[in-house]
Amino acid sequence: MRLAAVLLFLATISAICHTDGYIEQVTQQIHLLRPRSGAAGYRLKDVDCLSWRLAVETNNVRNWKLVPEECEQYVGHYMLGKQYRKDCEIVAHSAIEYAKSLTLVGDGKDIWIFDIDETTLSNLPYYARSDVQFGALPYNDTKFNEWVAEGAAPPVPGSLRLYQTLLPLGFKIVFLTGTAERFKDIRISNLKAAGYYTWEQLILKGEADQGTSALVYKSKKRTELVDSGYRILGNLGDQWSDILGDNSGNRTFKVPDPMYYIS
Amino acid sequence: MRLAAVLLFLATISAICHTDGYIEQVTQQIHLLRPRSGAAGYRLKDVDCLSWRLAVETNNVRNWKLVPEECEQYVGHYMLGKQYRKDCEIVAHSAIEYAKSLTLVGDGKDIWIFDIDETTLSNLPYYARSDVQFGALPYNDTKFNEWVAEGAAPPVPGSLRLYQTLLPLGFKIVFLTGTAERFKDIRISNLKAAGYYTWEQLILKGEADQGTSALVYKSKKRTELVDSGYRILGNLGDQWSDILGDNSGNRTFKVPDPMYYIS
């Protein structure tokens, strides 16, 4: 089938028509989805989508920009279906088992770090939109920010249960997010509406850190926490840049996310 | 169903009857499959085996001792079927893409580290045996060593292709394994028979390191390599203890392995 025919076919069945390829220009954004920087785009002929997802989740495939063309529908079905929920639940289960196995010092310095997007709050209602297509269409800063400003994101499956288990065990909660400071109020109301009603700190990305990668920014903030006497016992994130780097925590947990990559 | 009935049923359909539970005693072995040390056993009610496998591969579930009862058949089918091969191939593909993107110094100090078991050589012919059952039965040191002594392990899918690509690019190969020194000769002949015909170093676990975990032992050996002037550009392993720790390498790659866990 020629390219035009393929595209027409795709447009017909799903109203998706992604032809942009990769945008070269690097723009630092509050929520840098599929950064345009880094290594060459990742495209495999006849990719097996389950294998691709495993490779993403294990950090074997890095700096990828878009879900492979062949896997756009797969990712949509995965995210809306049972498997994503089950995959999230087993992460929460593992984290809860670990948390319960610990004996806390109990001086208010035992903390658990949560990333926010796709870890604590789910942007799935946004990603499932026909003009977003689970991130198969290029990231649109304006649209995404409008969605964030609605403050309507629901909790990620399992994560609220983990949060609710951690509090009575004595953990203090720290939210560490790449969201810009200017969204602070709406994020607070969104977190509370989703069931996350208390925390020790909510760390958003200030102006000074706008040029840095998530890995560097989050490492720096965690180091500041450790220098303040906090002990990072657990750390939950959907991106490897949430859970790698300095002072990543005694145990880290990777929440699934095959929709975008943040370095 | 009562426990006895469940066990009878399992014995009937598959001649597997694993009732040992967890053995508490820690024994350091050349190839420590499912160590009996560490945190409590990991058992989930109604576990989704694909979710469990993802949790294992992402290092969310750690220190597990046996494949969950419900997933024994799943793991067998996975390992013998197409998905395992596809999952391995995409790892090799990613590693090759990365290796080709590099410009080597070319002074003979650019190295790629390979673990051996389930990374370079596959023990699948052993694990598929009815008296091993993909590791669903407790690890048997004597039997496994007899298998290693045969020197008949085939290459892991994709890994030989990666190896064959790395050599002409100028990489020096280092095999770093938990196998004991006394198996050196047979491992050499097995590697050669499987197609790995040359290397810079083959590092086996000496007497002095027998008491240490894989993570500590491999970190130490990698640090020695770096201190000798080598640059670890890539590192391929089936266990997270192969690719975490000190001097883990510029890029690490995780080969799938849902059969056993080594800390």
Q: In Å, how far is A90's CA from the nearest CA of chain B?
A: 7
A156 compared with A5, residue with greater pLDDT: A156
What's the pLDDT score for residue A7?
43
Query: Which residues does chain B have within 8 Å of residue A40's beta carbon, measured at their own beta carbons?
Result: 97, 101
Query: How many CA within 13 A on the CB side of residue A178?
Result: 27
- What's the pLDDT at B132? 86
Residue B73 has pLDDT above 50, yes or no: yes
A78 and chain B in contact, CB less than 8 A: no
Residue A177 lies in a domain: yes
Give the tokens for residue A171.
């953990």
Q: How far is CA B165 from each of CA A172, B87, B112, B195, B258, rounded to the nearest angstrom? A: 49, 19, 12, 13, 27
Number of domains in chain B: 1
Q: What is the pLDDT of residue A25?
A: 30
- Lowest mean pLDDT segment, chosen from A30-44, B99-113, B208-222, B245-259: A30-44
CATH code of the domain containing B243: 3.40.50.1000
Residue B123, domain member (yes or no): yes
For residues B40-47, average pLDDT: 54
pLDDT of residue A243: 98
pLDDT band of A40, cuts 50, 70, 90: very low
Q: Does the pLDDT of residue A141 top 80, yes or no?
A: yes
Does the residue B85 lie in any domain? yes
Q: How far apart are CA A63 and CA A191, in angstroms?
A: 29
Q: How far apart are CA A238 and CA A254, in angstroms?
A: 5
In 3D space, the residue among A236, A257, A114 whose CA is nearest the CA of residue A179 turns out to be A114
For the ranges A21-35, A125-139, A234-248, B85-99, which has the lowest average pLDDT? Answer: A21-35
Task: Find the CB nearest B101 among A40, A44, A95.
Answer: A40
**B58 near A CB under 8 A:** yes
Per-residue model confidence (pLDDT) at position A133: 86
Q: Is pLDDT at B180 greater than 80 in this prediction? A: yes
Residue B24: pLDDT over 70:
no
Query: Min CA distance, B177 vs chain A (Å)?
Result: 21
Q: Hey, what amino acid is at A252?
A: T
Give pLDDT tens digits for A70-84: 898 999 999 999 999
For testing contact with chain A, the best of B49, B62, B90 (most A CBs within 10 A): B90
ipTM over 0.85: no
Q: Is A55 on the interface with B (CB under 8 A)?
A: yes
Identify all chain A residues contacting B39, using CB atoms and an 8 Å cutoff.
97-98, 101
Chain A residue numbers touching B61 (CB-CB < 8 A): 90, 94
B54 vs A contacts (CB less than 8 Å): 54, 57, 87, 90, 256
Where residue A13 falls among pLDDT bands split at 50, 70, 90?
Answer: very low
pLDDT at A72: 87
Contacts 24+ apart (CB under 8 A), A239-243: A239/A115, A239/A118, A239/A214, A240/A59, A240/A62, A241/A213, A241/A214, A241/A215, A242/A115, A242/A119, A242/A176, A242/A214, A242/A218
Q: Is position A21 within any domain? A: no
> In chain A, what residues touch B87 (CB-CB under 8 Å)?
50-51, 54-55
Q: Is residue A259 one of the residues assigned to a domain?
A: no
pLDDT surpassing 80 at residue B33: no
pLDDT at B51 over 80: yes
In a domain, B45, yes or no: no
Distance from CA of B248 to the nearest CA of A (A): 13
Q: Does residue B167 register a pLDDT over 70?
A: yes
Which residues, 6 or more positions from A152, have their beta carbon under 8 angstroms from its beta carbon? A125, A190, A193
**% of chain A at pLDDT higher than 90:** 76
> Quick check: A246 pLDDT over 90?
yes
In chain A, what percentage of residues exceed pLDDT 70?
83
Identify the pLDDT of residue A45.
57
- The mean pLDDT value of chain A amounts to 86
* Closest-CA residue to A255 (of A242, A204, A245): A242
Angle formed by the axes of helices A49-57 and B49-57, to 10°? 40
Nearest CA in chain B to A240: B58
* B244 found inside a domain: yes
**Has residue A223 been placed in a domain?**
yes
Backbone angles phi, psi at B112, to 5 degrees: -125, 125
CB A202 within 8 A of CB A184: yes
What average pLDDT does range B195-204 have in this prediction?
A: 98
Residue B107 lies in domain: 79-254
- The predicted-structure confidence for A197-244, as pLDDT tens digits, reads as follows 999 999 999 999 998 999 999 999 999 999 999 999 999 999 999 999
